[in-house]
């Protein structure tokens, strides 16, 4: 059996309540007693049981993050690693741990949210990849469960969210390509309903208004392989685009692969701008232009908010916080004269 507060109390000849106070750093414990108890604790290698503590204090010290991905489709995704890495970076300085789950289906989503919230497995949730009419959000609000959304809540509700202005970012990226002299700029997004994709497509449309007649919009799945397949079809067409905005770097890498196979060279045959500004951008010749989402800042802000909500501390700033984006121009979007 492991050593409990009861044991420590007996050995130190104090009450169990006092041991608890020492542990909590209660000021009104005699220094001498505190010292004695502390020593007994160390001598017997005592460690409080988080489970008992959780039951009593109604806090788990866990933050939940549920990802929605097809089986095996996670390793492909640099957004995911950046997200998780930045969350972990943040939590390192805070007394919380990350509880990570992945589900494949919408039904699974709901079930796991039940498992995590209603059963109080975690103190709060970070939501990502919100889709229009997100069922999770209504449920969370109804249960008054602490959560923060990374993305666009699509409502005027008092939902705490942190996001980029994806419409503006895509508009800027598209304009940049048009300004570089590209004439048939297209956009490759995810399936309809994925908020971040919809937002960026909206930005694209805003940018080409009056400057380009055809709306060249494609919907693909996440991942470089899926993107490569879609891109092969796109680029094989005789009315193919001469530049593309792509939803993320990894999909863009698929497009790069497809371009290579099609014998098209970047940037003159195909201009490219994508999103995330991950380290993948340095892996192709002359670099891949990409919009930085400033994930570390964004995630930090999101986590800070979530912890405030959980701990019932006041929140500064608006419910919906916008982190500015930044277009990092590299070779893939800069037309070269000496073509």
Partner DNA sequence: TTGAAAGCGTTACCAG
Partner DNA sequence: CTGGTAACGCTTTCAA
Residues that bind DNA (CB under 7 A): 1-2, 4-6, 13-18, 20-21, 23-24, 27-30, 33, 48-49, 52-53, 55-57
- Name the binder of 21 from a second copy, DNA, none, CB < 5-8 A by kind: DNA
Nearer to DNA, 6 or 279 (CB): 6
- C-beta of residue 145 within 8 angstroms of C-beta of residue 117: yes
d(CA 281, CA 289) in angstroms, rounded, equals 7
CB of 54 to DNA, least distance (A): 8
- Name the binder of 121 from DNA, a second copy, none, CB < 5-8 A by kind: a second copy
- Using rule CB under 8 A, residue 18 touches a second copy: no
CB of 121 to DNA, least distance (A): 12
CB of 114 to a second copy, least distance (A): 6
Q: Residue 239: is it exposed, middle or buried by C-beta count within 10 angstroms (0-12/13-18/19+)?
A: exposed
- Name the binder of 16 from DNA, a second copy, none, CB < 5-8 A by kind: DNA
- Going from the C-alpha of 154 to that of each of 130, 194, 332, the distances in angstroms are 9, 12, 33
- C-beta of residue 188 within 8 angstroms of C-beta of residue 246: yes
- Name the binder of 178 from DNA, a second copy, none, CB < 5-8 A by kind: none
Continuous segment of H or E residues that includes residue 96: none
Nearer to DNA, 59 or 206 (CB): 59
Beta bridge partners, 163, equal 322
Using the Cα atoms of residue 204, residue 209, residue 212 and residue 215 in order, give the sign of their dihedral.
positive
Long-range contacts of 31-38 (CB under 8 A, 24+ apart): 36/12, 37/8, 37/12
- Name the binder of 15 from a second copy, DNA, none, CB < 5-8 A by kind: DNA
Nearer to DNA, 49 or 179 (CB): 49
| Peptide bond connecting 267 to the previous residue in cis, omega within 30 degrees of 0 | yes
Site stretch for a second copy (CB under 8 A), options 111-119, 170-178, 186-194, 320-328: 111-119
- Name the binder of 76 from a second copy, DNA, none, CB < 5-8 A by kind: a second copy
Nearest-Å Rg of the Cα atoms of the chain is: 25
Using the Cα atoms of residue 330, residue 290, residue 278 and residue 186 in order, give the sign of their dihedral.
negative
Contact residues: a second copy, CB under 8 A: 45, 47-52, 54-55, 58, 60-62, 67, 71-78, 80-82, 84-86, 88-89, 91-92, 97-104, 108, 114, 118-121, 224-225, 250, 253, 256-257, 260, 278-280, 282-285, 296
């Amino acid at each position: 059996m492991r050593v409990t507060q009861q044991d420590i109390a007996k050995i130190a000849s104090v009450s169990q309540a006092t041991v608890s106070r020492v542990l909590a750093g209660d000021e009104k414990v005699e220094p001498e007693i505190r010292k004695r108890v502390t020593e007994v604790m160390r001598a017997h290698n005592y460690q409080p049981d988080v489970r008992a503590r959780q039951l009593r204090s109604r806090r788990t010290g866990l933050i939940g993050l549920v990802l929605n991905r097809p089986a095996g489709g996670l390793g492909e995704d640099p957004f995911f690693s950046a997200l998780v890495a930045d969350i972990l970076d943040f939590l390192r300085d805070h007394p919380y741990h990350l509880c990570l789950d992945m589900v494949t289906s919408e039904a699974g989503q709901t079930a796991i949210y039940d498992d995590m919230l209603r059963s109080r497995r975690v103190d709060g949730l970070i939501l990502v990849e919100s889709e229009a009419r997100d069922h999770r959000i209504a449920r969370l609000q109804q249960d008054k469960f602490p959560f923060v959304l990374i993305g666009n809540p699509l409502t005027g509700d008092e939902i705490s969210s942190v996001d980029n202005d994806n419409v503006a970012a895509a508009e800027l990226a598209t304009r940049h390509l048009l300004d570089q002299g590209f004439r048939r700029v297209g956009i490759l997004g995810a399936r309809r309903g994925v908020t971040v994709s919809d937002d960026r497509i909206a930005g694209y449309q805003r940018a080409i208004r009056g400057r380009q007649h055809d709306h060249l919009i494609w919907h693909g799945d996440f991942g470089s392989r899926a993107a490569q397949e879609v891109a092969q079809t796109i680029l094989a067409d005789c009315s193919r685009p001469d530049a593309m905005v792509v939803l993320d770097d990894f999909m863009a890498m698929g497009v790069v692969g497809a371009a290579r196979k099609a014998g098209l060279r970047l940037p003159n045959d195909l201009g490219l701008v994508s999103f995330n500004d991950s380290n993948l951008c340095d892996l192709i010749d002359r670099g891949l232009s990409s919009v930085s989402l400033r994930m570390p800042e964004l995630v930090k802000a999101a986590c800070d908010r979530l912890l405030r909500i959980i701990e019932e501390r006041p929140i500064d700033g608006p419910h919906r916080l916008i982190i500015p984006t930044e277009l990092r121009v590299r070779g893939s979007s800069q037309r070269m004269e000496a073509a």
